[in-house]
Structure 1
Amino acid sequence: MPTRIPRTTLLPDVFRLLEEEFGDRHPIRVEHYLDDGAYVVRAELPGMDPEHDIHVTVERGELNLRAERKFTRHDHEHTEFAYGGFARSVRLPESADVTHVKAAYDAGVLEVRIPVREKGKPHEIPVKAGS
């Protein structure tokens, strides 16, 4: 007769897997909010080299954050750090001015500021006289 695994053993593992994949345990934790005419996205990325490990792009109305923490082999092989590539996307407000995005990294936190136009105020495009 095959050995049966009790349901009480399987359910916690399934819930843990779902929580890790779809819960708040995302490898890149973010917060985003409006602040003084800018949409601010902040991400926890401790121990990263901002010039080599962090990549920020804007495409089709989304801010994309990618980071990679490379594994370094040591004599003692216990780690609780997360290694590998991490990615997170944040939908930007319709009024975001993606041509003037600024990003800064300090004390393990990436901060991206995207200017936003006032609601209902269209983006004015200057018109030059023809040549």
Structure 2
Amino acid sequence: MLLRTDPFRELDRVFEQFTGTSSRPAVMHVDAERDGDVFYVFFDLPGVDPDSIDVTVERNVLQVQAERRRRVKDDVEPVISERPMGVFNRQLFLADTLDTDRLEAVYDNGVLTLRIPISDRAKPRRIAIGSGNGGRKQIKG
């Protein structure tokens, strides 16, 4: 018996892993960079309503959640629907050296930008060295 298979089935499956489907959106793409004493993280979220974006930090876990909804109009028949819709989630594990209390977030032109400064306690600092010529002093209690 000859079984017929779709030669593009495997290609479609691999493509969906990277781009997502309407029921399982793809992961949001991220870039990160360090500029001096600040880390910047960029999340691509085109077409997302800024009110649907939620950024939280708990301990050293940063979580970004956003939702993109399809606009539905009466009497309009969709012809092609390839853009992933639904809820997107991304978690990043942050180093203890980052100051998440001073984290700033801006959403502009479909890109969510996080600015996370390095903690002052993680920056190099000079330690003062006292002179050994002072002799011993008695501490009175």
Superposition TM-score, scaled by structure 1 size: 0.71
Correspondent of 1:85 among 70, 77, 87: 87
Distance change in 2, residues 1:44/1:95 (3 Å): same
Distance change in 2, residues 1:120/1:56 (3 Å): closer
Amino acid at match of 1:36: G
How large is the Cα RMSD of the aligned pairs?
2.8
Distance change in 2, residues 1:84/1:99 (3 Å): same
Aligned-partner SS, 1:99: helix
Runs of at least 5 residues in structure 2 that lack an aligned partner in the other structure: 125-141
Q: How far is 1:5 from its partner?
A: 4.0
Amino acid at match of 2:32: H
Residue aligning to 2:110: 108
Aligned-partner SS, 2:47: coil
Residue aligning to 1:76: 77
Residue aligning to 1:39: 39
The structure with more radius of gyration: 2
Q: How far is 1:12 from its partner?
A: 3.2
Superposition TM-score, scaled by structure 2 size: 0.67
Paired residues, number? 117
Pair 1:48-2:62 in alignment = no
Q: How far is 1:84 from its partner?
A: 0.6
Pair 1:59-2:80 in alignment = no
Q: How far is 1:76 from its partner?
A: 2.7
Amino-acid identity (%): 32
Q: How far is 1:120 from its partner?
A: 5.3
CA distance in 1 between counterparts of 2:18 and 2:49 reads 29
Moved over 2 A (4+): 3-21, 78-81, 117-122
Distance change in 2, residues 1:54/1:36 (3 Å): same
Q: Which is worse superposed, 65-74 or 95-104?
A: 65-74
CA contact under 8 A between 2:19 and 2:84: conserved in structure 1? no
CA contact under 8 A between 2:26 and 2:84: conserved in structure 1? no
Runs of at least 5 residues in structure 1 that lack an aligned partner in the other structure: 123-131
Q: How far is 1:19 from its partner?
A: 4.5
Amino acid at match of 1:91: F
Residue aligning to 1:12: 11
